[in-house]
Amino acid sequence: MRVIIFFFFLLITTTSFAVTFEGRFIQGSFILGKTNPGSKVFIDKKQVKVTSEGFFVFGLSRDRKNDVVITINKKKIVKKVYKRKYNIQRIDGLEEKKVTPPEEVYERIKRENKWIGQARAINSDLTFFTKKFITPVENAIISGVYGSQRILNGKSKWPHYGLDFAADEGTNIKAMLNGIVTLAEPDLFYTGGTLIFDHGHGISTLYMHMKKILVKEGQQIKQGDIIGTVGSTGRATGAHLDVRLNWFQTRLDPATVLDIK
Ligand SMILES: [Zn+2]
């Protein structure tokens, strides 16, 4: 009898603890988790939504050093986060006012950053993030990667958080995933023609330097739809698409969701 009770107990504890992860525990990674529907899930101290099928999602920052603690129904799972090496990228010949913006555009930059931050803060119930992403530009050359330390006109700047696809101006851009357009701006100071999509649970993608934008805010877009064309608007040295992947305000590596490398 005692043995049976013990096995019953084991069954309960193991089933309530069932969880799988898709994605590697490396800096910059997008990680899709699956557990029992109705579970309470925390990533570090932050509670995250769980879909009716049990999916949840989170990401690891570029410089994440600590282990990540995933708490599911009060049980803790501790995962080590592996470090990456980032390269140094020098870009010269940029217009000086785009490297060190003049004071008269500070207000504009602040305002635009606020719009982007607001779009990234959306915590909707959409579940599009559970599906596989596709590459946004076919036959493009990867000309910039996530994490690189940037030196612009000899000045050390923010790391590069995007994945750059060099392509001819006017090349079609496809939506990487189903989503809802949360920002569509033709001419932001840094990012030029800019689109942001919400994919649910804080996962957003951002497309920048676009020449044409073919979608509107609030519109629901299907994966593979043509959303605009490649350009060199904003701070860009040549025609390319720079895509970003975010988990709320944490910038993730788009290559961790695309079949690249
Ligand atoms: Zn870029």
Query: What's the gap in Å between 49 CA and the centre of ligand 1?
Result: 30
Query: What's the gap in Å between 149 CA and the centre of ligand 1?
Result: 12
Residue 12 has a pLDDT of 47
Query: What's the gap in Å between 37 CA and the centre of ligand 1?
Result: 38
Please tell me which residue, 172 or 151, carries the higher pLDDT value.
172
Query: What's the gap in Å between 240 CA and the centre of ligand 1?
Result: 8
Query: What's the gap in Å between 61 CA and the centre of ligand 1?
Result: 17
Query: What's the gap in Å between 184 CA and the centre of ligand 1?
Result: 18
Alpha helices in 2-143 (DSSP H): 2-16, 96-99, 106-120
Structure-block tokens of residue 52: 């009716």
- pLDDT at residue 191 above 70? yes
Residue 7 has a pLDDT of 52
Query: What's the gap in Å between 238 CA and the centre of ligand 1?
Result: 10
Query: What's the gap in Å between 128 CA and the centre of ligand 1?
Result: 25
Residue 259 has a pLDDT of 81
The mean per-residue pLDDT over the stretch 182-205 comes to 97
Residue 156 has a pLDDT of 85
Residue 169 has a pLDDT of 97
Query: What's the gap in Å between 223 CA and the centre of ligand 1?
Result: 22
Q: What is the pLDDT of residues 79-96, one digit of tens each?
A: 999 999 999 988 888 777
Residue 4 has a pLDDT of 53
Question: 């932001």: which residue's tokens?
Answer: 188
Name the E strands within 92-191: 141-144, 149-152, 155-156, 163-166, 172-174, 179-188
Residue 126 has a pLDDT of 98
What pTM, to 2 d.p., does this model score? 0.90
Split at pLDDT 50, 70, 90, the class of 101 is confident
Q: What percent of the chain has pLDDT over 70?
A: 92
Residue 95 has a pLDDT of 78
Beta partners for 20? 34
Query: What's the gap in Å between 65 CA and the centre of ligand 1?
Result: 24
Question: 């939506």: which residue's tokens?
Answer: 175
Residue 245 has a pLDDT of 98
Query: What's the gap in Å between 166 CA and the centre of ligand 1?
Result: 10
* DSSP H/E element including 41: strand 41-43
DSSP 189: T
Split at pLDDT 50, 70, 90, the class of 115 is very high
Query: What's the gap in Å between 207 CA and the centre of ligand 1?
Result: 10
Residue 229 has a pLDDT of 98
CA distance 102 to 27: 34
The mean per-residue pLDDT over the stretch 21-45 comes to 97
